[in-house]
Structure 1
Amino acid sequence: QYQGASERLELAKSNLEDQRRTLDLVGKVVRSGYGSDLDLAQAKATLAAMESLVPQLEIAQQAHKHRLAVLLGEPLTQVEIRLSKQHSVPVMQNMVPVGLPSD
């Protein structure tokens, strides 16, 4: 869950930068006379919505990090060191065949 929260946070930050560029472009279009104030207001609202999402995702990421520390019984600093070493979600090497009896 921590890795997923981290990836969502990075994606939101990337989207935030895209929204800032979009707002800038919409502003230029409006100033040139080809866009309306409604277009500008919508771009500002979209940017504000994205800006409000980032802190929520940061809180979720921190909550998952604290949960890991509790589950592992380690100090938060130790968990942060562990998490900094792992950069992606591990992938299973061998898939378990479907239909094998579990007994």
Structure 2
Amino acid sequence: MSVGAALEQLLRLIHSRAMKLAALPEDERDLHYDLIRRSCCEAAEHIGQDPDKAAITANDMVEFVRALVGIIEASRESDQDPSADQPPPARHFGSRENDMTRG
């Protein structure tokens, strides 16, 4: 398997896991993040990283997954609120409308 194909497969796996985590209530996610941390740490050590660097790699991976879950949640929220993508109506300074709203 080429490096590019392996990376693509890894990113699909991470995205899939993040989608599943985003569907869970927040209080149920920590166990899954711990599992990701442990498996990533073991994999990093397996390929030759020293334990300290493997722990850093694993923590970085968990933070990446957490950020991806946050992006997924924000995307879902904006999909549910169509006005979230639209800027507020423009105000025309100096127009009569603004003079009337000032009182």
Give the TM-score, by structure 2 length. Answer: 0.39
Q: Which has the higher helix share?
A: 2
Q: Which has the higher contact order (CA 8 A, sep 6+)?
A: 1
